[in-house]
Amino acid sequence: MKNSLKILFVIILAIFISGCLESKKTPEASEPINLVKMSGQEMVQRLGTGEIAGFIMWEPYPAIAVTKGYGKDLIFSGKIWAEHPCCVVAYDDDWYKKTNNSDEILKRMALVQLRSVEYINNAKQSDSPDHAQLINYTMQFGGMTDPVAANLSLADVEFVYNTNVADTTTFIQRIQDFKIFDMAKWNQSGYKNASDYANSLVTNNYVDWAVNNKDENLSKLSLKEPVNIRYAYLVNDIHELPFYVGWQKGYYKDLGINIVLAEGAPFQNGAFEMQNGFKANTVDVGSLGIPPVIIHRINSNDFSKDDAGVGVIAGMNNEGSVIVVANNITSIKDLKGKTVGFPGPGTIQHVLFLMEAEKEGLTVSY
Protein backbone atom coordinates (compact mmCIF):
# COMPACT_ATOMS: atom_id res chain seq x y z
CA MET A 1 0.00 0.00 0.00
CA LYS A 2 2.66 2.47 1.11
CA ASN A 3 4.91 1.53 -1.79
CA SER A 4 2.15 1.94 -4.38
CA LEU A 5 1.33 5.33 -2.96
CA LYS A 6 4.96 6.39 -3.14
CA ILE A 7 5.32 5.15 -6.72
CA LEU A 8 2.19 7.00 -7.86
CA PHE A 9 3.28 10.12 -6.03
CA VAL A 10 6.69 9.98 -7.72
CA ILE A 11 5.10 9.44 -11.18
CA ILE A 12 2.74 12.42 -10.79
CA LEU A 13 5.51 14.59 -9.36
CA ALA A 14 7.81 13.63 -12.25
CA ILE A 15 5.15 14.56 -14.82
CA PHE A 16 4.54 17.88 -13.11
CA ILE A 17 8.19 18.80 -12.75
CA SER A 18 9.14 17.78 -16.29
CA GLY A 19 6.06 19.50 -17.73
CA CYS A 20 6.78 22.61 -15.68
CA LEU A 21 10.43 22.69 -16.70
CA GLU A 22 9.61 22.05 -20.35
CA SER A 23 6.92 24.72 -20.42
CA LYS A 24 9.24 27.28 -18.90
CA LYS A 25 11.93 26.45 -21.41
CA THR A 26 9.91 27.58 -24.43
CA PRO A 27 9.27 31.28 -23.83
CA GLU A 28 12.71 31.83 -22.35
CA ALA A 29 14.37 30.30 -25.38
CA SER A 30 12.48 32.23 -28.04
CA GLU A 31 9.03 33.52 -27.01
CA PRO A 32 7.17 31.78 -29.82
CA ILE A 33 4.09 32.94 -31.64
CA ASN A 34 1.30 30.52 -30.68
CA LEU A 35 -0.41 29.20 -33.77
CA VAL A 36 -3.82 27.84 -32.83
CA LYS A 37 -6.04 25.92 -35.20
CA MET A 38 -9.51 27.32 -35.88
CA SER A 39 -12.05 27.76 -38.66
CA GLY A 40 -12.07 30.88 -40.83
CA GLN A 41 -15.29 32.15 -39.27
CA GLU A 42 -13.79 31.76 -35.80
CA MET A 43 -10.69 33.68 -36.89
CA VAL A 44 -12.76 36.65 -37.99
CA GLN A 45 -14.92 36.57 -34.88
CA ARG A 46 -11.99 36.15 -32.45
CA LEU A 47 -9.98 38.89 -34.10
CA GLY A 48 -13.03 41.12 -33.67
CA THR A 49 -13.28 40.32 -29.95
CA GLY A 50 -9.53 40.71 -29.44
CA GLU A 51 -9.02 37.07 -28.40
CA ILE A 52 -6.37 36.57 -31.07
CA ALA A 53 -3.77 39.03 -32.33
CA GLY A 54 -4.04 37.88 -35.93
CA PHE A 55 -4.56 34.99 -38.30
CA ILE A 56 -3.28 33.57 -41.55
CA MET A 57 -5.99 32.30 -43.83
CA TRP A 58 -7.20 31.91 -47.35
CA GLU A 59 -9.57 34.39 -48.91
CA PRO A 60 -12.34 35.43 -48.27
CA TYR A 61 -11.72 35.50 -44.50
CA PRO A 62 -8.99 38.17 -44.64
CA ALA A 63 -11.23 40.36 -46.81
CA ILE A 64 -14.19 39.84 -44.46
CA ALA A 65 -12.13 40.75 -41.37
CA VAL A 66 -10.73 43.85 -43.05
CA THR A 67 -14.07 45.12 -44.38
CA LYS A 68 -15.64 44.63 -40.94
CA GLY A 69 -12.83 46.76 -39.48
CA TYR A 70 -11.59 43.99 -37.17
CA GLY A 71 -8.03 44.14 -38.44
CA LYS A 72 -5.72 44.96 -41.32
CA ASP A 73 -3.67 43.07 -43.90
CA LEU A 74 -0.11 42.71 -42.64
CA ILE A 75 1.53 40.41 -45.19
CA PHE A 76 0.16 39.00 -48.41
CA SER A 77 1.41 35.47 -49.06
CA GLY A 78 2.90 36.64 -52.37
CA LYS A 79 5.33 38.70 -50.31
CA ILE A 80 6.41 35.60 -48.40
CA TRP A 81 6.93 33.62 -51.58
CA ALA A 82 6.13 35.25 -54.91
CA GLU A 83 3.89 33.15 -57.17
CA HIS A 84 3.76 30.33 -54.64
CA PRO A 85 1.46 27.49 -55.68
CA CYS A 86 -1.63 27.04 -53.56
CA CYS A 87 -4.73 25.03 -54.45
CA VAL A 88 -4.66 22.39 -57.16
CA VAL A 89 -6.97 19.94 -58.91
CA ALA A 90 -6.16 16.35 -57.95
CA TYR A 91 -7.57 12.94 -58.85
CA ASP A 92 -7.76 9.71 -56.92
CA ASP A 93 -5.42 6.99 -58.20
CA ASP A 94 -7.88 4.16 -57.48
CA TRP A 95 -10.59 5.92 -59.45
CA TYR A 96 -8.07 6.57 -62.27
CA LYS A 97 -7.16 2.89 -62.54
CA LYS A 98 -10.75 1.66 -62.33
CA THR A 99 -12.12 4.06 -64.96
CA ASN A 100 -11.60 3.20 -68.62
CA ASN A 101 -11.61 6.71 -70.00
CA SER A 102 -10.04 8.48 -66.99
CA ASP A 103 -7.46 10.22 -69.18
CA GLU A 104 -10.21 11.65 -71.40
CA ILE A 105 -12.14 12.84 -68.35
CA LEU A 106 -9.07 14.48 -66.80
CA LYS A 107 -8.25 16.30 -70.04
CA ARG A 108 -11.70 17.83 -69.93
CA MET A 109 -11.44 18.67 -66.24
CA ALA A 110 -8.25 20.59 -67.08
CA LEU A 111 -10.05 22.35 -69.92
CA VAL A 112 -12.85 23.47 -67.59
CA GLN A 113 -10.19 24.83 -65.25
CA LEU A 114 -8.59 26.78 -68.09
CA ARG A 115 -11.92 28.19 -69.32
CA SER A 116 -13.03 29.16 -65.82
CA VAL A 117 -9.73 30.87 -65.03
CA GLU A 118 -9.94 32.86 -68.28
CA TYR A 119 -13.50 33.87 -67.44
CA ILE A 120 -12.54 34.96 -63.89
CA ASN A 121 -9.46 36.87 -64.99
CA ASN A 122 -11.52 38.83 -67.52
CA ALA A 123 -14.48 39.35 -65.20
CA LYS A 124 -12.24 40.57 -62.37
CA GLN A 125 -11.89 43.89 -64.20
CA SER A 126 -14.51 46.25 -62.84
CA ASP A 127 -15.50 47.40 -66.34
CA SER A 128 -16.10 43.85 -67.56
CA PRO A 129 -19.73 43.01 -68.44
CA ASP A 130 -19.31 39.79 -66.43
CA HIS A 131 -18.03 41.55 -63.30
CA ALA A 132 -21.36 41.63 -61.46
CA GLN A 133 -21.95 37.96 -62.20
CA LEU A 134 -18.47 37.07 -60.91
CA ILE A 135 -19.10 38.99 -57.68
CA ASN A 136 -22.33 37.01 -57.27
CA TYR A 137 -20.47 33.72 -57.79
CA THR A 138 -17.82 34.86 -55.30
CA MET A 139 -20.40 35.74 -52.66
CA GLN A 140 -22.27 32.46 -53.15
CA PHE A 141 -19.15 30.29 -53.05
CA GLY A 142 -17.43 32.25 -50.28
CA GLY A 143 -20.54 32.50 -48.10
CA MET A 144 -20.40 36.29 -48.15
CA THR A 145 -23.10 38.94 -48.04
CA ASP A 146 -20.91 41.98 -48.67
CA PRO A 147 -19.96 42.67 -52.31
CA VAL A 148 -17.11 44.94 -51.15
CA ALA A 149 -15.55 42.00 -49.28
CA ALA A 150 -16.14 39.76 -52.31
CA ASN A 151 -14.34 42.22 -54.57
CA LEU A 152 -11.47 42.57 -52.11
CA SER A 153 -11.11 38.81 -51.72
CA LEU A 154 -10.46 38.43 -55.45
CA ALA A 155 -7.74 41.07 -55.57
CA ASP A 156 -4.80 39.09 -54.17
CA VAL A 157 -5.65 35.66 -55.64
CA GLU A 158 -3.91 34.74 -58.87
CA PHE A 159 -6.10 32.16 -60.60
CA VAL A 160 -4.11 29.70 -62.71
CA TYR A 161 -4.44 26.39 -64.50
CA ASN A 162 -0.78 25.45 -64.87
CA THR A 163 1.06 23.37 -62.35
CA ASN A 164 4.63 24.09 -61.43
CA VAL A 165 6.89 21.13 -60.65
CA ALA A 166 9.79 23.32 -59.48
CA ASP A 167 7.64 25.15 -56.91
CA THR A 168 6.08 21.87 -55.82
CA THR A 169 9.59 20.55 -55.23
CA THR A 170 10.35 23.59 -53.08
CA PHE A 171 7.20 22.99 -51.06
CA ILE A 172 8.19 19.36 -50.49
CA GLN A 173 11.64 20.47 -49.36
CA ARG A 174 10.15 22.96 -46.90
CA ILE A 175 7.81 20.31 -45.52
CA GLN A 176 10.85 18.07 -45.06
CA ASP A 177 12.74 20.92 -43.33
CA PHE A 178 9.84 21.44 -40.94
CA LYS A 179 9.81 17.69 -40.14
CA ILE A 180 6.14 17.29 -41.00
CA PHE A 181 6.60 13.98 -42.82
CA ASP A 182 6.39 10.76 -40.87
CA MET A 183 9.90 9.52 -41.67
CA ALA A 184 8.96 5.84 -41.53
CA LYS A 185 6.30 6.50 -44.17
CA TRP A 186 8.66 8.64 -46.25
CA ASN A 187 11.14 5.76 -46.32
CA GLN A 188 8.36 3.38 -47.41
CA SER A 189 7.39 5.71 -50.25
CA GLY A 190 10.63 5.02 -52.12
CA TYR A 191 11.04 8.59 -53.37
CA LYS A 192 14.70 9.53 -53.62
CA ASN A 193 14.22 13.22 -52.94
CA ALA A 194 11.78 16.13 -53.19
CA SER A 195 12.21 16.46 -56.94
CA ASP A 196 11.53 12.76 -57.51
CA TYR A 197 8.34 13.03 -55.44
CA ALA A 198 7.18 16.22 -57.20
CA ASN A 199 7.68 14.64 -60.61
CA SER A 200 5.61 11.62 -59.66
CA LEU A 201 2.86 13.82 -58.20
CA VAL A 202 2.34 16.42 -60.90
CA THR A 203 1.50 15.86 -64.53
CA ASN A 204 1.12 18.57 -67.15
CA ASN A 205 -0.24 16.38 -69.97
CA TYR A 206 -3.85 17.28 -69.30
CA VAL A 207 -3.23 21.01 -69.18
CA ASP A 208 -1.20 20.73 -72.40
CA TRP A 209 -4.20 19.09 -74.09
CA ALA A 210 -6.48 21.79 -72.66
CA VAL A 211 -4.26 24.56 -74.01
CA ASN A 212 -4.30 22.96 -77.45
CA ASN A 213 -8.10 22.78 -77.39
CA LYS A 214 -8.94 25.96 -75.54
CA ASP A 215 -10.76 27.63 -78.42
CA GLU A 216 -12.82 24.59 -79.41
CA ASN A 217 -16.55 24.49 -78.87
CA LEU A 218 -17.03 22.55 -75.63
CA SER A 219 -19.91 20.42 -76.91
CA LYS A 220 -17.70 19.21 -79.75
CA LEU A 221 -15.26 17.85 -77.19
CA SER A 222 -17.98 16.23 -75.08
CA LEU A 223 -17.44 12.67 -73.87
CA LYS A 224 -19.41 10.09 -75.84
CA GLU A 225 -21.10 8.84 -72.68
CA PRO A 226 -21.72 11.29 -69.81
CA VAL A 227 -19.96 10.35 -66.58
CA ASN A 228 -20.58 11.18 -62.93
CA ILE A 229 -17.60 12.61 -61.07
CA ARG A 230 -17.69 12.74 -57.28
CA TYR A 231 -16.05 16.10 -56.66
CA ALA A 232 -14.79 17.57 -53.36
CA TYR A 233 -13.64 21.06 -52.47
CA LEU A 234 -12.93 23.20 -49.41
CA VAL A 235 -15.66 25.17 -47.74
CA ASN A 236 -15.88 28.87 -48.73
CA ASP A 237 -12.39 28.82 -50.25
CA ILE A 238 -12.22 31.56 -52.89
CA HIS A 239 -9.08 29.90 -54.28
CA GLU A 240 -11.34 27.22 -55.68
CA LEU A 241 -13.70 29.63 -57.36
CA PRO A 242 -12.76 28.31 -60.85
CA PHE A 243 -14.43 25.01 -59.94
CA TYR A 244 -17.63 26.79 -58.89
CA VAL A 245 -17.63 28.96 -62.01
CA GLY A 246 -17.15 25.92 -64.26
CA TRP A 247 -19.99 24.16 -62.46
CA GLN A 248 -22.40 27.11 -62.50
CA LYS A 249 -21.67 28.07 -66.09
CA GLY A 250 -22.25 24.50 -67.24
CA TYR A 251 -18.75 23.89 -68.64
CA TYR A 252 -18.56 20.42 -67.06
CA LYS A 253 -22.01 19.49 -68.36
CA ASP A 254 -21.09 20.67 -71.88
CA LEU A 255 -18.13 18.28 -71.80
CA GLY A 256 -20.26 15.33 -70.62
CA ILE A 257 -19.21 15.48 -66.97
CA ASN A 258 -21.90 15.46 -64.24
CA ILE A 259 -20.51 16.89 -61.05
CA VAL A 260 -21.81 15.04 -58.00
CA LEU A 261 -20.88 16.45 -54.62
CA ALA A 262 -18.69 13.87 -52.86
CA GLU A 263 -19.71 12.52 -49.46
CA GLY A 264 -18.52 14.92 -46.75
CA ALA A 265 -17.83 17.77 -49.19
CA PRO A 266 -17.22 20.64 -48.85
CA PHE A 267 -14.43 19.79 -46.40
CA GLN A 268 -13.16 22.04 -43.59
CA ASN A 269 -9.55 21.65 -44.69
CA GLY A 270 -7.32 19.72 -47.08
CA ALA A 271 -6.27 17.17 -44.46
CA PHE A 272 -9.90 16.06 -44.05
CA GLU A 273 -10.35 15.91 -47.81
CA MET A 274 -7.30 13.67 -48.15
CA GLN A 275 -8.09 11.43 -45.17
CA ASN A 276 -11.86 11.15 -45.45
CA GLY A 277 -12.23 11.68 -49.17
CA PHE A 278 -9.38 10.48 -51.36
CA LYS A 279 -8.12 7.78 -48.99
CA ALA A 280 -11.65 6.53 -48.32
CA ASN A 281 -12.34 6.38 -52.07
CA THR A 282 -15.33 8.67 -51.81
CA VAL A 283 -13.76 11.37 -53.98
CA ASP A 284 -12.83 10.94 -57.66
CA VAL A 285 -11.53 14.43 -58.34
CA GLY A 286 -11.20 17.38 -55.98
CA SER A 287 -9.57 20.70 -55.31
CA LEU A 288 -7.47 21.41 -52.23
CA GLY A 289 -4.20 22.98 -51.13
CA ILE A 290 -1.05 21.34 -52.42
CA PRO A 291 0.57 20.81 -48.96
CA PRO A 292 -2.18 18.47 -47.69
CA VAL A 293 -1.79 16.53 -50.93
CA ILE A 294 1.98 16.35 -50.44
CA ILE A 295 1.78 15.45 -46.73
CA HIS A 296 -1.06 12.93 -46.75
CA ARG A 297 0.07 11.12 -49.86
CA ILE A 298 2.97 10.14 -47.57
CA ASN A 299 1.72 10.23 -43.96
CA SER A 300 -1.77 8.80 -44.50
CA ASN A 301 -0.78 6.31 -47.15
CA ASP A 302 -0.81 2.56 -46.76
CA PHE A 303 1.94 1.96 -49.28
CA SER A 304 1.10 -1.71 -49.76
CA LYS A 305 -2.15 -0.49 -51.38
CA ASP A 306 -1.23 3.11 -52.14
CA ASP A 307 -4.71 4.03 -50.89
CA ALA A 308 -3.88 7.73 -50.52
CA GLY A 309 -2.40 7.84 -54.02
CA VAL A 310 -3.39 11.02 -55.84
CA GLY A 311 -2.13 12.90 -58.87
CA VAL A 312 -2.21 16.64 -59.56
CA ILE A 313 -3.51 17.61 -62.99
CA ALA A 314 -3.92 21.39 -62.81
CA GLY A 315 -3.35 24.42 -60.66
CA MET A 316 -6.23 26.39 -59.14
CA ASN A 317 -4.45 29.47 -57.88
CA ASN A 318 -1.17 30.98 -56.76
CA GLU A 319 -0.83 33.23 -53.71
CA GLY A 320 -4.13 34.41 -52.15
CA SER A 321 -3.51 33.97 -48.42
CA VAL A 322 -2.99 36.84 -46.00
CA ILE A 323 -1.63 37.42 -42.49
CA VAL A 324 -4.28 39.67 -40.97
CA VAL A 325 -3.57 41.36 -37.65
CA ALA A 326 -5.28 43.55 -35.08
CA ASN A 327 -5.05 47.25 -35.87
CA ASN A 328 -2.42 47.92 -33.17
CA ILE A 329 0.08 45.39 -34.62
CA THR A 330 2.63 46.86 -36.98
CA SER A 331 5.00 43.99 -37.71
CA ILE A 332 5.11 40.23 -37.44
CA LYS A 333 7.58 40.65 -34.56
CA ASP A 334 4.76 42.22 -32.53
CA LEU A 335 3.07 38.82 -32.59
CA LYS A 336 5.72 37.26 -30.32
CA GLY A 337 4.04 35.53 -27.38
CA LYS A 338 0.59 36.17 -28.88
CA THR A 339 -2.00 33.80 -30.34
CA VAL A 340 -2.51 33.65 -34.09
CA GLY A 341 -5.20 31.56 -35.79
CA PHE A 342 -4.33 29.16 -38.61
CA PRO A 343 -6.41 26.56 -40.45
CA GLY A 344 -4.42 23.59 -39.18
CA PRO A 345 -1.08 21.85 -39.28
CA GLY A 346 0.12 20.89 -42.71
CA THR A 347 -1.96 23.50 -44.54
CA ILE A 348 -0.42 25.93 -46.99
CA GLN A 349 -0.96 28.77 -44.51
CA HIS A 350 0.94 26.82 -41.86
CA VAL A 351 3.92 26.31 -44.15
CA LEU A 352 3.87 29.97 -45.28
CA PHE A 353 3.73 31.24 -41.71
CA LEU A 354 6.71 29.06 -40.77
CA MET A 355 8.60 30.45 -43.76
CA GLU A 356 7.89 34.04 -42.75
CA ALA A 357 8.81 33.33 -39.12
CA GLU A 358 12.07 31.74 -40.25
CA LYS A 359 12.85 34.78 -42.39
CA GLU A 360 12.27 37.10 -39.40
CA GLY A 361 14.16 34.90 -36.92
CA LEU A 362 10.98 34.11 -34.97
CA THR A 363 9.75 30.82 -33.56
CA VAL A 364 6.27 29.40 -33.75
CA SER A 365 4.57 26.86 -31.51
CA TYR A 366 1.79 24.68 -32.89
Partner 1 sequence: MKIQPGKKGLIINLLSLVVFALLWQLLVILARKDSFNIPFIRLRDIPTPVETWVALVGSMFIQLHGPGFTYGIVNHVYASLQRVIEGGIIAFIVGVPVGIGVGYSKLIGNLFNPLIEIVRNMPPMAWIPLSIFIFVSGGSIFIVFIGVIFPIILNTVQGVKSTDPRLIDAARTLGASESMIVKKVIIPSAFPSIMTGLRIGLGVGWMAIVAAEMVIRSPVGLGYFIWNMGDLGRYSEMVAGMIVIGVIGYIMNISILLLQRRFIKWGA
Q: Using CB under 8 A, list all residues that contact partner 1.
A: 1, 4-5, 8-9, 11-12, 15-16, 18-20, 22-23, 25-26, 30, 32, 34-38, 42, 49-51, 177-180, 182, 184-185, 269, 271, 274-275, 295-296, 298-300, 302, 304, 339, 341, 344-346, 354, 357-358, 362-366
Q: Closer to partner 1 at the Cβ: 271 or 325? A: 271
Specify the amino acid at residue 46.
R
Length of the chain: 366
In whole angstroms, the minimum distance from the beta carbon of 79 to partner 1 comes to 17
Instruction: Determine the number of helices (DSSP H) and then strands (DSSP E) in the chain.
Output: 17, 13
Q: Closer to partner 1 at the Cβ: 100 or 304? A: 304
Cα–Cα nearest to 70, from 51, 85, 98: 51
In whole angstroms, the minimum distance from the beta carbon of 24 to partner 1 comes to 10
Cβ–Cβ under 8 Å, residues 209 and 107? yes
Q: Which residues, including other chains, have CB under 8 Å from residue 107's CB and lie 6 or more apart?
A: 206, 209, 210, 213
Q: Closer to partner 1 at the Cβ: 160 or 354? A: 354
Cα–Cα nearest to 211, from 317, 88, 107, 315: 107
Q: What is the CA radius of gyration of the chain?
A: 22
In whole angstroms, the minimum distance from the beta carbon of 77 to partner 1 comes to 16
The helix-helix angle for 194-201 and 165-177 (nearest 10°) equals 130
In whole angstroms, the minimum distance from the beta carbon of 166 to partner 1 comes to 21
Distance CA 26, CA 32 (A): 7
Q: Closer to partner 1 at the Cβ: 42 or 146? A: 42
Q: Closer to partner 1 at the Cβ: 227 or 362? A: 362
In whole angstroms, the minimum distance from the beta carbon of 103 to partner 1 comes to 29
In whole angstroms, the minimum distance from the beta carbon of 160 to partner 1 comes to 27
Q: Closer to partner 1 at the Cβ: 30 or 128? A: 30
Residue 10 in 3-state DSSP?
helix
* Residue 146 half-sphere exposure toward CB, CA atoms < 13 A: 12
